Amino acid sequence: MKTNERTGILTGVKVLDLTRMLSGPYCTMMLADHGAEVIKIESETGDSSRANGPFRTDDPQKEWAGYFVSLNRSKKSVQLNLKTETGKKHFRKLVEHADVVVENFRPGVMERLDLSYEELKAINPRLVYGAIRGFGDPRLGESPYVKWPSYDVVAQAMGGIMGITGATPDSPTKIGPGVGDIFTGLMMSFGIIAALRSADFTGEGQFIDISMYDAVLSLCERTVYQHDYDGTIPGPEGNGHPLLAPFGIFPALDGHVAIGIVDDIFWSELSKCMGLNKTGEDKKYSSRAARKESSKTINKLVADWTKLKTKNELTKILGGKIPFGPVNTIKDILDDEHVNIRKMIATVPHSDPSKKDWRVAANPIKFSLNPTPEYKTPPKIGEHDKNYLQKAKVETANFEKTKSLREAFGNFATGVTIITTNDKNGSPRGFTANSFTSVSLEPPLLLVCIAKTAFSAATFQKSKLFAINILSENQRELSGLFASQEKDKFKLANWSVGPKNLPIFEESIAHFICERQRLVDAGDHIILIGKVQEHAVFDGTPLGYFKGNYFSVNHDQALIEAANTGEMVDIGGVLSKDNKILLQEATHQKFIIPKAPTEDKSKNGLYGLLENLNLTPRLNFIYAIYRDTDTKNHTIFYNGTVEGAAPDGFKFFKLEDIPLNNILLPAERSMLERYKREFKHGTFGFYEGTERAGTVREISQTENNYEIKGV
C-alpha cells in the first residue's frame, strides 16, 4: 500500500451506501475521496447509473459509464437482494460494524424492508443514518409532497433557482450541472461528519434528513431576504446583477469573459484599462449606487470595448487588476496552468491495466496534514462480496471478543471523578472520568485518562496543573453534566476556587491537586500522570459506576443484604420506549411489569428473556427495592429503556394510557403511578421499603428523601 493511501482524513469511517444516481453517490464520493471505506450495496442489476453512459470506444461491452466511474471511484461493491431474508441478514451484520448508512429511496421503502432507522439503531446505537429525499422524511416534518418522486430538474424548479435563472421570466432556465442533486449530496456529507463528531462524544448516532427542495431553497437565500425586505419577487437577471454594474458576461472576439465590479476602486481601474479615465471619475458612475441607476449604459460601454479584443488580450489587460475571468470550455480548463498546479484533474485507474486510465474532476478540498488518497478503480457489481460477506463472520467473532473484554473490564466497580483545570484564559474546564489509578506513593503519583476526541483534550495536554474531584452519591447529575456536550458546564455546577486556583466541587468526598509530570499517548486516549501537591478528604458516600450504570453503596445495600440472606428475589424492569411503557399480560386484561423467569431470577435472566423476544433492553439504575411482608421475598425493579416491537403477550402503553386499574399487583400499580409523576417532572427516585410503604430518594438531583405509601 502506498503511504498516501493511509492519509485520508476519514480513514476508519465505514459507510454502507444504498444510494443510486447522483445525489447520494456524490455524497458518498466526497467521503470515499478522503479515505472513508464506502461499500455500495447493489442489487443484481446494480446502480442504474452504470448504464447511463457515456462509454468510451475501448469499452464495447459498455461496462464503465463515465457517470458511474466519476461518482463511484474508490468505493467497494457488495451485491445483496434486500427483499430476501438472506440479504437482510447480511446487511444487518454489516450494520453492526458500520458508522454510517446512506440511502436516497422514497419514504417508507426501508420500513417495508424491515430495515428502518429505528430497527438498525437497535443493532448499532452509534449508527449515523442519512436519508436524502425529494421532499424530506416524515420523521422531521411531513411535506404534502412526501410521496412525490423527484429529480434534479424538479428540485431546481420548486426550490426557486429556475425562477431567478435565465434571460426573462418567460424562459426559466435549469443550471447546467445537476445542482439540485449535487448540493443536496454535499450538504448530506457535511451532516454525516457533524453527526459522527456528535457520536464520538455521546456514543449515540442519529437520523439525518435532507430534502432536495430544502437544499435548493437554502441556495437561493437572497430571494428570501429580498422579498422580506422590500416585498419584491426576484426574477431572472440573465447574467447580470440587480444591484451591481458592470457585472456579468461580456463579448470578446473569440468568446466571452466575466467581469464583476463591486467596489468603486475596481470601477476606477477598469476605466483606466479601457482608456476612459474621465468616465471613471464621473459622479454619474463613480459610486456603486450611481452605477446601479445607469447599469444599461455602463454595461453597453464595457461590452463595446471588450468585443473588439480576444479573450487572451483581455486577460493580459485585466487579469489581476479587477474581478475578471474568461468563460472557459472544458478544453480551456484542461490547458489552464491553474488546474494543473492545483491538481484538479485526477486519474482513476482502469480495471484493465492495458487500457488508458479515466480522467475525472478531482475533489477540491485539500488538507494540509491529510493529502487526498489516490483514487482507486470503481467496483464491478458484487466485486467485494467475498471480502465483506465472509468477513462479517470473522468480524462478528472479533466483535464478540471485544465485547467480552469490555464486559470483563466492566466487572469491576469504579468511583466517579471529574478532572478539572484552567485554560490559558483562566476559564475552568473539566470532564467526567471513571475513577483514577494510584501509580506511586513515593513520590505520590496519580493517573487519569482523557479521550483525544474530548473538547478539553488539548487544554489538559497543555495545563501544568489539574485537580481530581471524587464524587459523592449526591452528584450523579453533576457527573452527567460533565460527560455531556453542554458548553457552560461550570455555570450549571456548584463549585469554588480551590488550592492552586483550580476548580473544586462542593459535596465531593475528596480532591487531589496534581502537577502534571508526564503525558502518554494511549491509542484513542491520552494518559495524564500527575504528582499530588495537596489533597483533602471529607465525609460522604462515594458515587460508583458499574457496567454502564451509576450506583451508590447505600442504595444497593438492600441488594447485598438480600443476596447474603439467601432470600427469594424477583427482578423486573420498568422499561420505556418513546414515552411508552412495556407491560406483560398476566391474565385476560390484567398486566404486570416484565420480570426475569423463575429459572433465572437475575439481572442477566431479565436481559435474556427480553433479548429472546427480539427486544433490546437497557437497565439504567435500580428504581425500587421492597420486601413483601407476607412472603418475605425481595423484589427489585430497574428503570430502563427497550427497543423493538412488542412481542406476543406484551404491549406498549402511552404513559397517560397506562391501565392502572388493570395492573394485577397493587405494589406495581403504585410504582407505575409514581413513575408517571416522576417522568413528568424529569426527576426519578429510588424506593426502599415494603410493598405498602417506604422512602423515595431522588437520584438525579441533590438527595431529598420523602415518605410515600406503596411503591
Say how far apart CA 630 and CA 627 lie, in whole Å: 9
Pair type for strands 428-433 and 503-505? unpaired
Say how far apart CA 570 and CA 706 lie, in whole Å: 25
Q: Which residues of 345-379 are buried (b: 16+ CB within 10 A; e: fewer)?
A: ebebebeeeeeeebebebbeeeeeebebbebebbb
For residue range 58-78, list pLDDT tens digits in order: 999 999 999 999 999 999 999
Is 346 within 8 Å of 373 (Cβ atoms)? no
Say how far apart CA 504 and CA 492 lie, in whole Å: 14
Structure confidence at residue 694 (pLDDT):
52
Pair type for strands 100-103 and 14-17? parallel
pLDDT at 210 over 90: yes
DSSP of 66-112: HHHHHHHTT-EEEE--TTSHHHHHHHHHHHHT-SEEEE-PPTTHHHH
Pair type for strands 207-211 and 444-451? unpaired
**pTM (predicted TM-score):** 0.58
pLDDT-based confidence at 479, cuts 50/70/90?
A: confident
For residue range 152-170, list pLDDT tens digits in order: 999 999 999 999 999 888 9
DSSP of 249-293: EEEETTEEEEEE--SHHHHHHHHHHTT-HHHHH-TTTSSHHHHHH
Per-residue three-class SS string for 486-551 = CCCHHHHCCEEECHHHCEEECCCCEEEEEEEEEEEEECCEEEEEEEEEEEEECCCCEEEEECCEEE
**How are the residues of the chain apportioned to helix, strand and coil, as percentages rounded to the nearest 5?**
35, 25, 40
- Percent pLDDT > 90 in the chain is 60
Say how far apart CA 439 and CA 212 lie, in whole Å: 56
Whole-number Cα distances in Å, 522 to 201, 449, 450, 700: 18, 9, 10, 33
Task: Pull the grid cell for residue 549.
Answer: 450504570
Name residue, grid cell 404486570: 592
For residue range 73-109, list pLDDT tens digits in order: 999 999 999 999 999 999 999 999 999 999 999 999 9
Whole-number Cα distances in Å, 323 to 100, 247, 297: 42, 10, 20
Say which range, 451-455, 631-635, 664-668, has the weakest mean pLDDT. 631-635
Give the three-class secondary structure for 591: strand
Listed residue (51, 39, 151) closest to 91, CA to CA: 39
Helix residue spans in 544-681 (DSSP H): 557-565, 603-612, 666-681
HSE, CB side, 13 Å, CA atoms: give it for residue 605. 13
Residue 649 contacts by C-beta under 8 Å, 6 or more apart in sequence?
A: 584, 585
Say which range, 211-220, 290-299, 568-577, 619-628, has the weakest mean pLDDT. 619-628
Burial class of residue 54 in the structure, from the number of CB atoms within 10 Å of its CB (0-12 exposed, 13-18 middle, 19+ buried): exposed
Say which range, 31-40, 195-204, 618-627, 642-651, has the weakest mean pLDDT. 618-627
Whole-number Cα distances in Å, 340 to 47, 73, 335: 32, 20, 8
Mean pLDDT of the region 294-312: 95
For residue range 244-289, list pLDDT tens digits in order: 999 999 999 999 999 999 999 999 999 999 998 888 778 888 899 9
Give the three-class secondary structure for 670: helix
Is 21 within 8 Å of 65 (Cβ atoms)? no
Listed residue (7, 8, 45, 58) closest to 29, CA to CA: 8
Mean pLDDT of the region 556-574: 62
The letter for the amino acid at 572 is G
Task: Check the CA dihedral 344-345-351-352 and report its sign.
Answer: negative
Mean pLDDT of the region 378-402: 73
Is 103 within 8 Å of 112 (Cβ atoms)? no
Give the residue with greater pLDDT, 391 vs 328.
Answer: 328
Mean pLDDT of the region 688-705: 48
pLDDT at 186 over 90: yes
Mean predicted lDDT score pLDDT of the chain = 87
Mean pLDDT of the region 662-685: 81
Residue 228 has a CB neighbour count (10 Å cut-off) of 8
Listed residue (700, 677, 684) closest to 637, CA to CA: 684
Structure confidence at residue 599 (pLDDT):
85
Structure confidence at residue 649 (pLDDT):
92
Q: Which of 181, 209, 214, 556 is flagged as catalytic?
A: 181
Listed residue (176, 153, 169) closest to 236, CA to CA: 169
Q: Going from the N-terminus, what domains does the chain have, and what CATH number goes with each?
A: 3-232+345-361 (3.40.50.10540), 247-327 (3.30.1540.10), 414-546 (2.30.110.10), 554-709 (3.90.79.10)
Give the residue with greater pLDDT, 346 vs 406.
Answer: 346
Per-residue three-class SS string for 3-66 = HHHHCCCCCCCEEEECCCCCHHHHHHHHHHHCCCEEEEEECCCCCHHHHCCCCCCCCCCCCCCH
Say how far apart CA 702 and CA 431 lie, in whole Å: 20
Q: Catalytic annotation on 181?
A: yes
Mean pLDDT of the region 603-616: 90
Say how far apart CA 470 and CA 511 lie, in whole Å: 6
pLDDT at 172 over 60: yes
Say how far apart CA 127 and CA 616 lie, in whole Å: 15
Name residue, grid cell 453512459: 53
Listed residue (418, 509, 434, 503) closest to 465, CA to CA: 503
Residue 380 contacts by C-beta under 8 Å, 6 or more apart in sequence?
A: 63, 77, 351
